[in-house]
């Protein structure tokens, strides 16, 4: 089970800190989090499953390479 913690540190809000936190979770905890997010999305917008206009993320991401 995910252990709830409270922090007011700006350092713990960085993308790197969030990635480290997520990586520290077990597979079961990650799946519980995924299910919780999915349930929240479906509760707020049940019609989202009917959306037919989904596009691959590559249509929205531009990869830049430093020359």
Which residues, 6+ apart, have CB-to-CB distance to 31 below 8 Å? none
Give domain status of residue 28, yes or no.
yes
Domain that holds residue 34: 21-45
Q: Does a structural domain hold residue 1? A: no
Q: Please say if the pLDDT value at position 17 is more than 70.
A: yes
3-class state of residue 8 by DSSP: coil
In a domain, 13, yes or no: no
Count other Cβ atoms within 10 Å, centred on residue 32: 14
Listed ranges 2-6, 27-31, 50-54; the one with the highest mean pLDDT: 27-31
- Tell me, yes or no, whether 53 lies in a domain: no
pLDDT of 13: 80
Residue 39 placed within a domain: yes
Gap between the Cα atoms of 45 and 50, Å rounded: 10
The count of structural domains within the chain is: 1
């Amino acid at each position: 089970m995910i252990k709830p913690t409270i922090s007011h540190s700006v350092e713990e809000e960085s993308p790197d800190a969030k990635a480290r936190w997520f990586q520290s979770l077990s597979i079961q905890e990650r799946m519980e989090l995924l299910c919780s997010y999915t349930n929240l999305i479906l509760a707020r917008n049940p019609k989202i499953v009917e959306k037919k206009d989904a596009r691959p993320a590559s249509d929205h991401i531009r990869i830049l390479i430093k020359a």
